Amino acid sequence: MRVALFVTCINDTLYPRTGRAVVSLLRRLGVEAEFPEAQSCCGQPQFNTGYRWETEPLVRRFAAAFAGFDYVVTPSGSCAAMVRDNYPRIGAKAAAEGRGEELTRAAEAVVPRTLELTEFLVDVLGVTDVGAYYPHRVTYHPTCHGLRMLGLGTKPKRLLDAVAGLDLVELPGAQECCGFGGTFSVKNAAVSAAMGADKARHIMGTGAQAVCTVDNSCQLHIGGTLARLGSPVRPVHLAEILASTDKEQW
């Protein structure tokens, strides 16, 4: 089984430890993930801002970079959702405009093989207990793309429930958006900040030491809000928790 890691822009530039955690975790499970250096942005920021034609070269690049792999695994619900939900739309629009089937074929080549990390662990590898140890009180925020577009359901929580030492506490209003929304947070800064403050108050009310998500973009927004409120709650990606073992010090 050939597996590729799609690390995403935000992880590459701001959270490289998340990509390292994915590699460490998969190796522990007997999977050697490759990193195609030709990969770049999936096109989500451009597409969400209305630049569909400018997104098309990135669809082609993604398909070419990950050709030949059985699975493309990414620690990002939003980027996985971009590929799975929007690439087919981009192809269909191009075809409807009389510009051929190239983008449709590119989407068809990668959509079935692109999985968010928890999907790969639970659905493909068939594991929930990955041998992790994380002795902290943790709450989980299900990000919008993972919850609504990918339908991750209970997969992230099942993985967290199996982590030794971890005390998982429910987050009130968990299904409410944190307010990030990519370019939404720039265009609607006041609304975004207010939603982030609501989310942060719910998180702090749990007494958790850490808040976990499957998207570092949302983690960035939540973590920044918590920091501005003076909260000691640590934002952490699910991959980092799952990569942690009893040999590591936290």
Residues in the chain, total: 250
From 73, 98, 124, give the residue that closes a domain. 124
- CA–CA distance, 177 with 128 (Å, rounded to integer): 26
Q: State yes or no: pLDDT of 155 exceeds 90.
A: yes
From 68, 95, 124, give the residue that closes a domain. 124
Q: State yes or no: pLDDT of 248 exceeds 70.
A: no
From 75, 94, 124, give the residue that closes a domain. 124
Question: Does one domain contain both 108 and 11?
Answer: yes
222 in a structural domain: yes
Q: Please count the other Cβ atoms lying within 10 Å of the Cβ belonging to residue 42.
A: 28
pLDDT in tens, 219-242: 999 999 999 999 999 999 999 999
| pLDDT confidence band for 250 (50 / 70 / 90) | very low
Count structural domains, the chain: 2
Contacts of 26 (CB under 8 A, 6+ apart): 3, 5, 32, 33, 73
The mean pLDDT value for 101-105 works out to: 96
* pTM for the model: 0.93
Question: Does one domain contain both 166 and 102?
Answer: no
Q: State yes or no: pLDDT of 246 exceeds 90.
A: no
pLDDT in tens, 33-80: 999 999 999 999 999 889 999 999 999 999 999 999 999 999 999 999
- CA–CA distance, 210 with 114 (Å, rounded to integer): 28
131 in a structural domain: no
